[in-house]
Amino acid sequence: MQFELSTQRREQFVDITEQVAKAVAESRVRDGAVLIYCPHTTAGITINENADPDVVRDLLDGLERLAPRDAGWRHVEGNSDGHLKASLVGSSVTVPLEQGRLVLGTWQGVYFAEFDGPRHRRVIVMTLSAVG
C-alpha cells in the first residue's frame, strides 16, 4: 500500500500517523509490524513527539545547524543539505502492531520529513504478519 502527499515548504515534518493507521486497517493484519518507507533521497521517515509543535521546530532547527544549506556543498543541484538530513533521519521506521493498531508511545507520531520541498512525495506502507 502507498499514499501520496504534497509538502508546502522546503523543510517540514508532516504528521502521517493517521494515514499509516488507515493503511494498517485496510491491510487487515492484526498482529505483526508495519514498515513505513520513503523512496526519496531528500526526505525521510521518523517517529517523534506529536504533542508539542515546538519539538518539530527544534528538530528542524537542529538539523539546519548540523547541515546548513549554504555550507559550500559540491553537488550542483543545491540540495546536498537535504541529502545529508535525509540520511541522518533515515528512510524508514518499523512499528509493532497489536490487534490491528500501531504500538506507539503516548506522545509519539510518525512523521514524513521533507528536506527539499515543496514537492509531491510518496510513502510506502507494508504490513508484516506475526508468525506463530
Q: What b/e sequence results for 22-53 when a residue is b if at least 16 CB atoms lie within 10 Å of its CB, and e otherwise?
A: ebbeebebeebbbebbbebebbbbbbbbbeee
Q: Is 103:38 a contact under the CB 8 Å cutoff?
A: no
- pLDDT at site 131: 78
SS3 131: coil
Structural domain boundaries enclosing 19: 2-129
Domain count, the chain: 1
Consecutive 10-residue runs of the chain (132 residues): their mean pLDDT? Answer: 97 98 95 98 97 95 95 89 97 97 97 98 96 72
Please give the model's pTM, rounded to 2 decimal places.
0.94
- pLDDT at site 132: 65
Chain length of the chain: 132
CATH code for the domain in which residue 40 is found = 2.60.120.460
Give the span between the Cα atoms of 7 and 77, in whole angstroms. Answer: 19
